[in-house]
Every structure is written in structure tokens, then in C-alpha cells.
Structure 1
Amino acid sequence: MANTAQAKKRARQTVARRERNFSLRSRLRTAIKSVRKAIESGDKTQAQAVYRKSTSILDSIADKGIIHKNKAARHKSRLASSIKAMA
């Protein structure tokens, strides 16, 4: 248990940061799933449109430091190659 003013404040900040990070990480996962779902549907134009929206979400979350920029790049690369492989 925090017993100094500084420790209590840090505990409050940690809780707020955790909630914010949790919601951002959830947004990230949803964006990735939506692209995968569009790829599975077989509509290449729709998949490309969803991919364009998702890349901005991935980049913004990487800029905030929630995930590493290389992880964001890896996700974008794999999704792009999946879209490119569509017939």
C-alpha cells in the first residue's frame, strides 16, 4: 500500500495509464481482426479500404508507445501481403 503522497499519486497515474493502454490495445486488435475478416470475405477492394484505415490506427498506437514500431510494421506487412495474395 502506498504510504506517501508521491506513491499514492503514482498509483493513481498507473491505473489511468493502464486503462488508456488497454483501450488502445483493444482498438489495435479490432483493427487487425477487421482486416483479416475482410480478407476472408474475398472482396479485395473492401479489404484494401479496411487495410488503409487500419494502418493509421496501427501507426498512431505505435507512436504512442503501446506497441513497438517494428511490431506495427510487421502487422502491416503481413496484412498487405495477404491482401496482395488474394485472387
Structure 2
Amino acid sequence: MWYESLWIKSFVGFFLGFLLSMSLFMNIGFIAPLSRDVFLFIAVIGGFTVWSALISWFYCVQSIKKPTLVCLVGLLITSMVNVYFYIQAGA
């Protein structure tokens, strides 16, 4: 089931890296009391850095099973934190 082709690594790394970095920096946006323009600057720089590191990790391993599971667990945790902050904000 875990194919080792470069296309699969690219596809999975691209989307999981994007979703995880976006979710992580949404958490930072809820936690840090920064002005909107400073936060957006930090989110763009930090999000791209996390995203590119995750894609590189997917390319460096032979099996994409471990990085996929780690990214999915991280995405689950950050998504639950986002939902908590969203509920606390009263939306």
C-alpha cells in the first residue's frame, strides 16, 4: 500500500506538509498576541520553512509510512487545538 515512487512522495508530502504547517501557524495565531501584519509575516516565513522541511523529509526516507503517520498525528493534534480555540472564541 505504501508506494515508494517519487510522485507519491511528492503528492503526500506536498499536501500533508501544507496542511500541517497551516494548522500549526493557525495555533500560533490564536496563542500569540501579535498584530495581524506581524503574524502574517511570521506565518508566511515559518509556514514555508516547515512545509519545505516536511517535503524534504518525505524525499529523504525510503518508506513514506513513518513520515505520513507522524504528520497525520501532528495534524490531528493541531486540528484539535484549533477547534478548542475556535470554540473558546465563541464563534
Which bracket does the TM-score occupy, shorter chain normalised? Answer: 0.3 to 0.5
TM-score, normalization: structure 1? Answer: 0.37
Higher relative contact order (CA 8 A, sep 6+): 2
TM-score, normalization: structure 2? Answer: 0.36
Structure with higher Rg: it is 1
